[in-house]
Each structure stands twice: as structure tokens, then as C-alpha cells.
Structure 1
């Protein structure tokens, strides 16, 4: 069935303005509570059963719609309510519909409040036609994605279990291209404890934590596959107290990216197996954040189905791999058919130039509605 979402254009603009103007940066529980309350009300009005999952930054939302075959495996939709730009950005850059009648700007309009509106519209389209999803649907909206989903990850993992497919609503690649693979990422801190001593009188009694750290970094560098398989970046480094004191402590924060599970295993394995070079040194590795590599599968059945439905609408839906990580790294790495980038086309995520296309938002809503009633070719 081909849906026409253009009839919902004014509704889309009104909802988008409401959500964008309700700022919700990560780590602002009260502001996130306001946005989540708005989302909860909207999704309940569209037939969802909504529950809240408590977290350090407020509640995450889990919205569930029954399917016509309630015992079937569910379709998992993944989104987030947190944004990046600080409180007060809307005073300088409020939600605006531009003269072309299509471009909208404002903090979070592209990543990802436009996506949350498109999900609303998809269920509105189904309701107007008296239709229900073929399979049960679960929408998980976490409130900490922009800081790596340190708590939201557990909610997504719980609802990924037994899923038929997972659809992520992050912004697409340029031109509306879907993401069917993502590099994995990790942020790691290496801490070294040495032994302080006078650098002139008793240097032999000391153990330089800085020297040890340098050698440990060299070990890891040697184990990291060459780009594009993996990347290794020393983001910060610190240690010691004075030039005449053998450094007693040192640490480095390292950013890692890996394109495949094999590269991921090589990098993380090297870090986990670090042992001191100097007898009196102690080396500790702490994984601060982590998202597994989701390697692209050219035969991805979900992407193929979405492309088929898009073709029925006269759209050529392409797929590609993203250099960044997101919540779909988890579902993709688990082998669940996954596609991300189902948000509206646009540009400027995380910047003052953030913008999105209303036409694309409406098209994504219609595509999602079509998929929910026919997730399989034979449906």
C-alpha cells in the first residue's frame, strides 16, 4: 500500500516546532523529562502502551504497539530524545521554516527530533487507514545516546532480544542513503603507577610512569591494524609533577575505531593484555565507553525490503557504511537484520547550521508505515 504523508505536513511542522523548542541536551534530566512526557502523550494517543525505564539522566521510553499476529517476533525501532547543543541555543536559533517551504532549522531538528516526528506520523497514517502493524512493534527512546548510551544500551539490548528486525532513526548518509554498517568505537583510559624519586640524586630508585606509558602506547600501536580497518587516536595525555622528579603517575585517554569484528578483537585484545615493561610499574586499562563493530552485510534482508518499498514510491534507496557509531551498532553486531539512517535527509548535525527537509521527513514516515504493514515480501 502506498501512503501519502503530505496531508500531515502541517501536523509535522507543529510537532517538530514543539519538540525542537523544548531543548533536551544530554545530562539535563528535568528538560529530558519534559520532552519525554510530550512524546509519551503523543505515542499513547496513537495506540501505544508506554512504559518508563529509570536511568541516571531520567527515564527512557518504551512504546509498544500490538501486531495483527501478536505472537510474531517484534520490529524494534530505536531513537533518542537527547540532543547536543546547550540550553539557550533556541534563543539564538529558534525553529524556523525557511522560504523554500522545505528546509527547517533549529537544534535537534535533524538529530533526531525530526525522526521522532516521522515515527508519530507513520502510526497516524496507519490509524487513518484503519490499519495495524503486521508484527508487534517496540519503540525504544533512550535519553543518553549522544554521550554513548551508557545506560540506554541495556534497554536496547533487552528489547533487541527476539527481534525480527531493528530500524534506527539516526540521520541518513548524504542524499538519504541508509546506513547498513557502522564502525565500532571505544574510549579507553590507560593509567600507569610508577615510583617517584629525585631525578638527579636517586633516579635509579624511581620508575617513570611516563616512560612506561609511552612504551605501553607503542605496544598498542603495533597491534592496531592499519586504516581503514582500525584507527587509534591519543586524545589526552598527562603525568608527572616536576622536571626534577621521576614521574609517579601518568595516564592517556585513547579513542579507537574499528571497521570489522576482527579488527575490534585485535585492538581490544591488545589493550586487555597489557602488562608492565618495568618491574615496579602498574598498568590499568579502563574501558570508558564501547560500541561493537557492525559489519555491513550486502544481503541485508531488511535493507532489501525497505529498498523495494521505496522503489514502489519511485525512490532509489541506497545503502552505505557510516564512519560513526550509534545504538544500532549493538543490534547489527548481534546479527539482527538492521538498517539505520531512517531519519529525514538534512545536514549539520551537532552544529548551529543543523537543518532537515520536511519533504524527506514525510517520505520517511510513509516508508515506515508501508514497512510496518508489510515487513516481508510475501506479506
Structure 2
């Protein structure tokens, strides 16, 4: 089958799928699936697995005891020897607690669909599923296409990262279906980020009777916070933020313990290494005699650096123009799993899902009219990669 024939088959089939895509989207949105809700994220996996099975798409489900199961669907290569599969990625979890669907489930107003996680990223899950279905109908490709559906991205992919790394090993390209920007653009660069918990121990004492016998963990923490915030450099894109602090026993007790939660953001991996070293040095310093601090990293995303998306984006942009919509690449300070695959050296494009906005809020929405063309653009870009292999 020629490239043009495959392309026409994928384009034409997807062009007729808007209603079907919306039906799937409504089903997924109406399942509560907070990151800590294993039953909910597994119910989303059940739905996706059911659709794959109905369409003859093979999948593997890896049970997880303390997190949502890992689901990976696969289209095999038509021939041996090409290697280098393409990976589609998406996360099933949302930030919204169980019970949100009962309060405000899926609704639609004109072209806009509303509901918890409708854009971030239930719509992206649907897009990836339909890209797989379209490629299956377009005929065998010289390489395999996999779709990975994880369940804990909103809390840092603590369980999912190992599976993402394994799924991306040997891949020729990754498309991460986070929501397209409100501008209609895709994401070609993202900051990395890491979260830390800082705990300081001191020595309690009565603040009036024996103040001198105490060692204030709160004072030590406060001094460290000032130094941590001083690491922020807007010009280079590095930011640090202590967003939560706790500590102390009472007003008239020298605090024996205090803790803080630190968020960090950085543009590239070199900044990450330098920032982590600077934070470690601040934590190690004894700010107040008799106090001691420890640091624990609680989550982390690597950055998506622009050079890792440039060639793949150029292909995508050509296909988008052919389909009739203009798209540019965009940088965002938010993190995603795209940084993990990009940092492995795999060309990665993010924000390839349908266009959405107001993520993580009650007003989150998805523009339904973008579902089909953006699915067509991803499928066409994969077919373009296939045509290059076959030449």
C-alpha cells in the first residue's frame, strides 16, 4: 500500500469519528479518577482496554498494588527489521477528588465540553486511542506503534516513570497527548521540576524560663527559606518556592521541629544539577546551633528541551498545514512526562491532544472541534515517519 493511500485512509476514517470520539470522551470524564483513587484510574483503564479489545488492538495490563494499573496497547509492525517504534503517551489520573463527577459530570455547550479532566487529559487519551484505530485501518507500518496509559502523572509519576522509560526504550518518536494550548499550538519545550520536603529538628525549651536551652527549628527553617528563595533567577528561568510550612508546639515553646514543602522549576538539565547542588548545600548548613535538616525529594520531572522536539515538530507542522490548520511550538513552565522521554534522547512532542484550557479548575474545557484534526495530524506525522523508513 502506498503512503498516499494510507494517508487517505487514516484521514477519511478519522474525519467521520467526531461523534464517536465525543462518546468515548463523555464515558471517561464521567469516571472519577484522582491520582490516589486506584479504583477510578483502573476503571478508566477498563474502558480503554474494552475499546481496544473490541477493535482487535492488542494490549498488556500490568497490575499495580499501590497505584493505578499500567496499560499499554500495541500495533505490531507489518515487517521485521525496521525497529524503532512510535510511542503515544497519556495519563488517566486527574486532580479532582472522588465525588466530583456526581457534582458536575460531562456537559457540553456548543463546541465546548466541560467536566473533570476533560482536557487534562481525558481528551488526549481518546485521541491516542483513535490514532491507533486509524493506523490499524491504514494498513501495516514498518514499525510498531504503542500507546501507554499511566495513572499518576498529576502527582509526579512516582510509579509510572519506570514504565515510561521502559516503553520509550528504542523508540524513534514520542507524542504526549497533553492538551493543546489555548492558542492552538503544541508544546515544544517544557520546564522540568522537582518537589522536596525539608524537615528540621531542634531542641524544645520554655521560651520564658529557659529560652537559651532551646534550638529553634522554626528559626533554622526560616533562614533556609530565605536562602532557597534567593536561588530564583527569572532571567534564566529557575524558580524556587516554599509553598507550605509547618512546625512548633506552642507560642511559648522553642520549636523542636519544623518542615516545609519546596517546589523547583528549571529549563534544562544543567540547571537542574546546579540547582540541586545549591539546595543540598543550604540544607546541610547548620543555621542555628543544635538544629539539623534533612531533604527528601518527593517528585520530579525532567525538562523537555527544544532540540528534542524540533525535527518532530517540523513534520507535525507540515501535516497540520496540509489539514488546514496553522500551529506553532510553544514553551510552558508546566511539567509533564514528555521530559522523561526527551531526556532519554528520544524525539518528543507534547501538547498533541485536543485544545483545552482552565485545566485543574471547575471551568476546565475542551474544544471538541479540534479532536479530529489533531488526531489526523498525529496519525499523518506517524505515517510520514513510516514513509521515510520505506524509502
Partner of 1:74: 85
Q: Which residue of 1 aligns with 2:105?
A: 94
Identify unmatched segments of 5+ residues in structure 2.
Answer: 1-6
Distance 1:204 1:88, change over 3 A: closer
2:211 aligns with one of 198, 203, 214: 203
Match of 1:45 in 2: 54
Q: Residue 184 of structure 1: CA displacement?
A: 1.1
Cα distance, 1:106–1:206 mapped onto 2, change above 3 Å? closer
- Give distance in 2, aligned partners of 1:255 and 1:315: 37
TM-score by length of 2: 0.89
Q: How does 1:103-118 map to 2 (within 5 A)?
A: 103-118=112-127
The separation in 2 between residues aligned to 1:212 and 1:90, in whole angstroms, is 44
Distance 1:92 1:67, change over 3 A: same
Partner of residue 15, structure 2 = 6
* CA–CA separation in structure 2 for the residues paired with 1:252 and 1:26: 22
**Corresponding residue of 1:368:** 378
* Match among 165, 177, 181 for residue 173 of structure 1: 181
Structure 2 counterpart of 1:307? 317
Pairwise CA distance, 1:228: 5.1
TM superposition shift of 1:219: 3.1
Count of matched residue pairs: 376
Note closer, same or farther for the CA distance 1:245–1:25 as it changes in structure 2 (3 Å cut).
closer
Q: Indicate the residue corresponding to 1:268 in structure 2.
A: 276
SS of 1:24's equivalent?
Answer: coil
Q: Structure 2 matches for 1:1-379, cutoff 5 A?
A: 1-2=7-8, 3-4=11-12, 5-55=14-64, 56-71=66-81, 72-98=83-109, 100=110, 102-129=111-138, 131-227=139-235, 229-273=237-281, 274-275=283-284, 276-297=286-307, 300-375=310-385, 378-379=388-389
CA-based RMSD = 2.1
CA distance in 1, matches of 2:100, 2:259: 35
SS state of the match for residue 321, structure 2? helix
Which deviations, in whole Å up to 9, do the C-alpha atoms of 1:159-205 show, x marking residues without a partner?
Answer: 12211111100001222211111111111111111122233343333
Deviations 1:198-236 (A, max 9, x none): 333433332221221122223333444345521111111
**Structure with the higher fraction of residues in helix conformation:** 2
How far 1:337 moved relative to its partner? Answer: 0.8
Indicate if the aligned counterparts of 2:68 and 2:150 stay in contact, CA closer than 8 A.
no
Q: Evaluate the alpha carbon distance shift between residue 268 and residue 51 of structure 1 in structure 2; reply closer, same or farther with a 3 A threshold.
A: same
CA contact (8 A) 1:48 1:65 kept: yes
1:134–1:373: 8 Å Cα contact kept in structure 2? no
Whole-angstrom CA distance in 2 between matches of 1:225 and 1:376: 43
Distance 1:293 1:120 in 2: 26
Q: Evaluate the alpha carbon distance shift between residue 362 and residue 220 of structure 1 in structure 2; reply closer, same or farther with a 3 A threshold.
A: same
Give the Cα separation in 2 of the matches to 1:286 and 1:94. 37
Structure 2 distance, partners of 1:353, 1:219, is 37
Separation in structure 2 between the aligned mates of residue 278 and residue 66 of structure 1, nearest angstrom: 61
